[in-house]
Copies of this chain bind each other. A is one copy, B any other.
Amino acid sequence: MTSRREAVRDVLVQSEGFRSAQDIYAELRAGGAKIGLTTVYRALQSLADAGQVDVLRTDDGESVYRACATGTHHHHLVCRRCGHTVEVAGPAVERWAEAVGAEHGFTSITHTVEVFGTCGSCASVASAG
């Protein structure tokens, strides 16, 4: 684990939600770190390969990364306003995916599941404003 890689991971660990490579790069540079964008991308890739961060793609095609607390299979509930993210487990949805695949003769089933919404604090800010 090199120092740059560690710096990238630290940003993610201290982040509440998903962050983009460019976002992380900007934060590191703003904090005085000497690091290149290419290195941020490489660090994220190796962290993702090692299973230490989760990746997902936003609607506009940007990859975003998060250091999740759980190493086990889980999904995300993401506030579409502030990005606040909670990790959720879902035995029900796991079973459903397997069942629906089997029902149509599919094997080696995998799935992607993400849930979006407005979190409690964003909702109260909106109603107060």
**Chain A interface (Cβ within 8 Å of chain B)?**
57, 59, 61, 77, 79, 86, 88, 90, 92-93, 96-97, 100-101, 104-120, 123
Contact = CB atoms under 8 A, between A and B. Distances in A.
B96 A119 contact: no
Contacts of A57: 57, 59, 61
Report how many copies the assembly holds.
Answer: 2
A104 B77 contact: yes
Nearest to A86: B104
Nearest to A97: B115
B107 A117 contact: yes
Nearest to A55: B59
Contacts of A61: 57, 61
Contacts of A88: 100, 104
6 contacts: A77-B101, A96-B96, A100-B115, A105-B123, A107-B118, A109-B117
